[in-house]
Every structure is written in structure tokens, then in C-alpha cells.
Structure 1
Amino acid sequence: MNIGDRVRLLHANEEGVITRISSGGRIEIEIEDGFKIPAMKNEVVVISSAERQYFGDGIKEEVVKNPQNITPQSAQEAGIFLAYLPINDKVLSVYLINQSQRNYISIISEVYGDNSQTLLAGEIAAKSNKKISEKTIATFEEWPTLSCQFIPIHQKIERTEPSFERKVKFKASSFFKSKSKIPQLDKNGYLFKLTDNNTKEIDIKQLNESLAPSPKPKAPIDMPKPASSIDLHIEKLTKDYPFMSNSEMLQLQMETFEKNLNYAIAHGMDHITFIHGIGNGVLRKEIHKYLSQLKNIKYFQDEQKSPFGYGATLVKIS
């Protein structure tokens, strides 16, 4: 049983893809609607390929779309693709493949909130490919969003083709169903087309304006000094939480956390505590991931004071 395997719960009707395997026999499954549910290994069974072929698994043999409309495609189709080629059962090589008749200037970056890391910057010739990076399947849930920008190269006087960009964030339920023959590499892997009618055209004028220095400084924003501890339990933040989805509640909690952390830094506070509760640990994980990317934080740790148990995080500000 591995990450990416499609499984069925023994005592329920749900099916999904394994996205995380923890110690103690615990796993996390992403079902078709995108929700993730915990389970024990002995509560699920792997759906074999033979069973799929004989009984079917409810998956239609058609293009499967994820929220960013990054879709598995035929290896014979023209366009620009992302390809994930297995090195072994744990590691994937990531390739940018240009199946078009045109050369492009490409910039591929991993996005971490307000930060980013450039993986590739330069020209990719028509009918060629470049290796971008390597990714481990075990850390699939932590893969950052990919920002992909493409500027066409016109080597003769012709109609101008617009530049475009694409942001890519995969979901396990669609990623692991995207197996295909990789063009040029002629090997099986996971293939996703970046060029289609949903690509966002880059506004060069707007891009230049954003890079130009601002003629006037922005008016200072009023930042009230926060309390020394901030309760992020959803019932403390809004009365409408019964009508909110899990993702909407997490977004509100993270916005409240980020806002009050910025206020604390602006006011020169020595420390601040965020009460997130124990629950399923999703909010704690998102808070710790955000804090790990900041340079003006001395350290952060689970707060063990009796009022909070282990359901709070202390942030020491530098």
C-alpha cells in the first residue's frame, strides 16, 4: 500500500487516493470531491487494476480536470506539457516538454506564499524538453504551487503570439489518474498540458507597471496592537461557521493568524501565542509551515501551558 494507490473503505462507500501514510497504520485518503478523510490501513482495500477492468471504478475514460484545469493529455498532441517521470517507486523527475513548433522563453518557479524559488529560466526550443527538478511521492501534499510563464520567440515577421502564464497545484485524486506515454521521452509517467483555452495571457503593460517604482508611498495602514494570545477556533471568529466548508474555515483562520502576527511584529511585541486546538492538526500544520518561511521569527514551538494543553503555538519574534 503506497501513496497514489486507489483504495476503497471497507465499511463505507467512499473510494479515493492515498495521499499520506503515517506511523501506527494511519493513512489519509482524498476522495473524489477533494475532501480528505483519515483511516486505518486495515479499514481499506486497494482497488486492483483487474477489478477496475472487470467491474469499473466509476472513472470515465475522458479528460479529468482538477481545479486549475491541468489535464492529462495524449502524447501525440501539440503544446507545452509538464511531465512527471518515475525514477523509482518513490521519486519522480519533473520535465518541461515543448511539443509545439515554436521556441519559448520559460520561467518556472515554486511559490511559497510571498516567496518563490526559480527552477528554470531560459529558452526551450521547439520539440525539446528540459528537466526541472525531482519530487518525492511521500511529500506530495507539501508540493508547492508551480508558477509557469511563457514568452514566445518570433524568429521572423509574423502575427504576434501572446505570452501566457499558468499556476499549477495538483490534487491527488486527479494527479495519479493521469498516466500517459510521455512525448519525446517515450516512457510512461504523469502528463499535464499547460497550453489550452484556459491559459492566462500575461499583460506586459501591467507587468512593467508593477515593476516600476511607486511615485508615492502608500498611506500607513492602521495596525491595532493584538492581544498576547489569539484564539483561532472558528466559533470565535464567525457565527456563520455552520454554513462554511472546511477550506473556507481554514482560510479565515489563516487570515486571522497572519493579520495578528503582522500586527505583533509591527508593534515590536516580544512574543504572541496562537490557540489552534488539537483537532486533526491541519491548522497547526499550516501555521508552522508559514512560520518556517519567515526570517524575523526567532523560533516557534508548541505551547505546553495548562490552559492550552498542546493546542497552541508560541511565536518568539526577533
Structure 2
Amino acid sequence: MKYKLGDFVRFVDEKMEGYVTTIIDDDMIGVTGEDDFEIPVLASKVTTVHGHKSTAVESQAFDEVKANTGDFDTRGIYLAVASDQRIASVVHFYLVNETSFQLLTALTTEKLYKFKGEYAGIIAPKSATKIFSAPLQDIQLWPVFNFQVVFYTTQNIAINQPLILKETFKAKDFSGTKTVVPLIKQQAWLIRLDEPELVLDAEKLKESFFKPAEEKREIEKPVHEIDLHIEKLRDDHQFLSSAEILNIQLTAFRKALDAAIVHKLPSITFIHGVGNGTLKNELHKIVGKHPHIQTFMDARKEKFGYGATKVLLK
């Protein structure tokens, strides 16, 4: 099979063109055109469109990467899922490397106990590469994604442990707000693959074990609607920076969410406002991967507009 997912092709016998969105077998592929319909076609009946500008962001080989003499970033690996700029129903998956490591990356898909290598290559520091494409409307048919990432650098830096992940995507993963991803120069749903390191303070942890029972506070049951507007949380908000405000709002959000889980509430609504979408986007990233959350959605639009999110708990 000379074609791969994401290739832009033209039909030999018809005036049609589109992206390869399915590899059916060694002879058949699925091509999605501007009408958003996928057409099964013999691979021999299409040809690559020469000169078509690929949507992939090319990575660099080892010997092309210059040593970074500034701060060395050890974390920041994301999967960006972006709509095609010509065919809205097709989405492209980009592996985004915001670290200073070179990433030796492989993607293998799994469907009905059949495995298929989709991508293998080197992703340079501070770059992104397209690794997969698929029709968004067929999300329930998407395979399981198996990621393997190995970290490499010529600098005197302790390497991270290899990253091995298995991801199954659902519609709720793409119900949140898109964010601008500078490395691919467009908006996309952003999913973090390497979670930030959890730093534990051993002394504080030890103290918590031996804290007298009377000092332990009972977790208060939260109300069903939590207003995260900064003026509701702090009286001195006019003296706070944007970063400080966001941190305070996220802290209040996590505290209320944890309390709702502890008290086994069926749901809880967070009022975040519309604004520039930063707070809403951060909330959606957290609840989208939370093990105790069933799903989330915009709260009653007639009451909140688009300024609140309702979270359904398991």
C-alpha cells in the first residue's frame, strides 16, 4: 500500500479529490472529499496530488537539531486534534513536542484484535508532526491508539522514562473548547499525554499521618452551583495578575469538585463566564480525563448562556 492516512489524492476517472481517511485493505482505501462523505475506492483508481501542501509539520532528524543552551524543558507532550482546513469532517492528529528532548515516537492502532503501525519517526524539540487522520463523525469506529515515546538528547540531562500509553477516544473528549496551538498554527483540541510530575513534601505527608483527629476538618458539602468569577472568590481581585486569578479559580474549582465527589452528588455546575475562554478550557481539560466524571456539558443556556459547565459524576 503506497498511500497512508492523511494523503491528499485525486480520482483517476472522476473530477474528485480528498484525503485518505481509511485503509480498508491492501487494495482498497476510503477517501473523504469536500462533501464530507467517505468513498471506498481501489487504490489503483487514485493518484497523489503533486505539489499539494501537506498539513503535516515536519520534524527534524537527530543531526539537524541544534543544542538548546537555554532552559531545558523536560515535560510537555500533547496530542492536538485539528479539523482539516478544507474538509471540515476530517481531523488530523498531531504529536506536539513542547519539551527540549527529541522524541522517538511510534503509533500503533488496535481494532478487533488487529494491530497496524500508523507512524514511526523522530519529533524534534518544540515541534509537531501529523501522525494520523480520521473522519470525526466516525469517532465511535476509531481504533485504540497505542503510543510509545522514547526521550533523547545529546546534552547532560537525565532522561525521562519511556512513555507508553493506550488511549480510547470518546465524543466527550472533543466537546470542550478548542485552543490555539502555535506549533501547528491553528486551533485544536489539546490532550496532554505526559502528566505533570507530582512533587510530594515528605515532611508534610508525615505530619498529616500523625495529625490528631480533632485537627482534621470535615469536608463541607458544596452547593450545586459554584460561581468561579474572581469577584466572588476574592475581595482584592483588582490587585491580582491574570495568572494569579486563574490559579485561584482553578483551586476553588478542584476543591468544590473533590467535595462533590466525596459527598456523592449526582452533578455540580461551575459558573465560569464566557470571557476569553481560558478558564472554561482549563476546566474542560481536567474534567475530560477525570476518572470520577461521567460526562460534562454546557449548563442551562437560558440561565447561563455559554458561561457555565454542568458536570455529571459517576
TM exceeding 0.5: no
TM-score (norm 1): 0.41
TM-score (norm 2): 0.41
